[in-house]
């Protein structure tokens, strides 16, 4: 056995293993960045299945730091509200504009509906309207005839009531005379 051959083979194996781990770390870094996950040395080490120590070594650390800077630049920072009153005034003005727009839309819809109803009335044919007018005239004539007949019957009945009242009054008078004459005779 050649001791030098075994050492050389071990060095080569370690070098291949180190290159493989570095490549896995860089691949993990790319994957995390594409997924939009937070990039940290620990996250890269876990994803790649390597030690955290490796992520701090030269050649890996620079790539992680660059990815962190890119991530910080791409994350939009919330803009602090400088003047809450100004925001409320802006929202109020937007609400007022929306109300004006809604009122205008309502008025336009109302006007369109009026035009549509007018058009429907205009579309009714003259014959349909004439037919309806004739129908109403006939109905009115029937009602007038019924009224005349009922008035005539009422007049006849009133005359009969007057006649019966007179007959009743005459019968009472005659009955009184009879009762008096009977009473005086006895």
* pLDDT of the residue at 118: 83
Q: Are 67 and 33 a contacting pair, CB within 8 Å?
A: yes
Query: What are 48's two structure tokens?
Result: 């790649």
What Rg value do the Cα atoms of the chain yield, rounded?
A: 56
Domain map (residue ranges) of the chain: 8-74, 94-124, 136-186
Q: Is the dihedral of CA 92, 95, 101, 103 positive or negative?
A: negative
Q: Are 55 and 25 a contacting pair, CB within 8 Å?
A: yes
Picking from 4, 11, 52, 9, the residue whose alpha carbon sits closest to that of residue 28 is 52
**Alpha helix positions (H), the chain:** 3-35, 41-48, 52-55, 61-74, 84-123, 126-185
Q: How far apart are CA 15 and CA 11, in angstroms?
A: 6
Task: Give tens-digit pLDDT for 131-150.
Answer: 888 999 999 999 999 999 99
Task: Give tens-digit pLDDT for 27-72.
Answer: 999 999 999 888 999 999 999 999 888 889 888 999 999 999 998 8
pTM above 0.85, yes or no: no
């Amino acid at each position: 056995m050649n001791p030098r051959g075994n050492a050389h083979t071990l060095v080569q194996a370690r070098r291949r293993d180190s290159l493989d781990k570095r490549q896995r770390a860089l691949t993990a870094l790319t994957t995390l960045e594409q997924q939009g996950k937070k990039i940290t040395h620990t996250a890269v080490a876990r994803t790649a299945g390597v030690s955290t120590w490796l992520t701090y070594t030269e050649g890996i650390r620079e790539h992680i730091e660059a990815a962190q800077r890119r991530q910080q630049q791409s994350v939009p920072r919330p803009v602090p509200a400088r003047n809450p009153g100004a925001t409320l005034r802006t929202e109020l003005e937007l609400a007022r504009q929306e109300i004006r727009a809604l009122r205008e839309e309502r008025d336009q819809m109302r006007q369109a509906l009026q035009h549509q109803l007018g058009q429907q009335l205009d579309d009714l044919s003259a014959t349909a309207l004439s037919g309806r007018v004739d129908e109403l005239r006939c109905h009115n004539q029937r009602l007038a005839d019924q009224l005349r007949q009922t008035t005539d019957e009422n007049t006849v009945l009133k005359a009969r009531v007057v006649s019966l009242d007179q007959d009743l009054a005459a019968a009472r008078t005659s009955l009184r005379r009879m009762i008096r004459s009977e009473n005086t005779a006895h």
